Amino acid sequence: MKLTKLCRFLLHRPILFNSIAQTSAACCSTMTSLSHGDGGKFLTKDEVKRFPLFHQKRSEEEMTQERKKIDCDRLLGVTTILSRTKSIQDQLILGRWKKKMIREMGEEQFELMQKETLAQGKELHEAIGWYLAGDKNLDEIRVSSKTVPLWKSVQHILKDMSNVHVVEGEVTHGLLGYRGYVDCVAEYKGELYVIDWKTSKKIRKSLDECFDDPTQISAYAGAYNHMQDNIKVSKGMVVKIYHNGRPATAFPMNTFTLEYHWNKWLARLTDHYYKEI
């Protein structure tokens, strides 16, 4: 099935909301003032922290009313909120790594390396998108020489994927006031997952070594479920794709693990918005 760039590889399931945005202060207002639909009762801070990953089916009228209330220009993205709410420990780890690399490489070479890494990641995502959208077979896709190891690394994962719902699609949670771009919602070995592709120069051996990646996936899963009435996703998966060409590592998250990280996401979301007041 051929898709235009305008569709951005969105498959089978329509995105229900338009692109929306607000300033961070307005986002706080949106998150805490949208009605439950039960006589004007508003979401409180505690209700946000207890918001379910899976909720009851809503009527078309309720969804229409929500869309009207959040029809703005901007909402903060998941990655922005995670970046602003990193723990002191994670900030220190990131800072020490950056200083170490600059000391070894020099600032100019470090900046160049960062740009090249981003470019390779973008090219890899495009190649994955072509394959999952059905535009090209694996052996028909060509990438630059620097991206070849990454492309080889992920192919064994792609071969086990089917029934693709979304590739690089925007997801929005109107009641909680955030949005993001999910890499993929598809079946992997017969189970439906929200999937995030992450390139890495270091081999990861467990989900605990993936830092905020599981929390990011849970945020996307919550937004996706909020937008869908018929299909709910209860599993997530971080896929670490290696620059040295080693076979990518898949870290599946069952429902319990996904809900655990969903609760972590709600805590960080709440902390961020209330700090903005």
The catalytic residue positions are 183, 196, 198
| C-alpha pair distances (Å), 227 with each of 92, 145, 257 | 36, 39, 21
Looking up tokens 């969105």 gives 10
- Sorted by sequence, the CB contacts under 8 Å of residue 115 that are 6+ apart come out as none
**66 neighbors 34 (Cβ within 8 angstroms):** yes
Task: Kindly state the tokens that stand for 211.
Answer: 């830092």
Alpha-helical regions (H) of 106-166: 107-132, 148-158
Phi, psi of 240 (to 5 degrees): -90, 120
Of 133, 124, 263, 136, residue with least CA distance to 196: 124
* 187 beta partners: 162, 192
User: Which token pair is 94?
Assistant: 């990131």
Tokens of 202: 């270091």
Task: Please tell me whether residue 87 adopts helix, strand or coil conformation.
Answer: coil
Q: What angle do CA 240, 242, 248 make, to 5 degrees?
A: 50
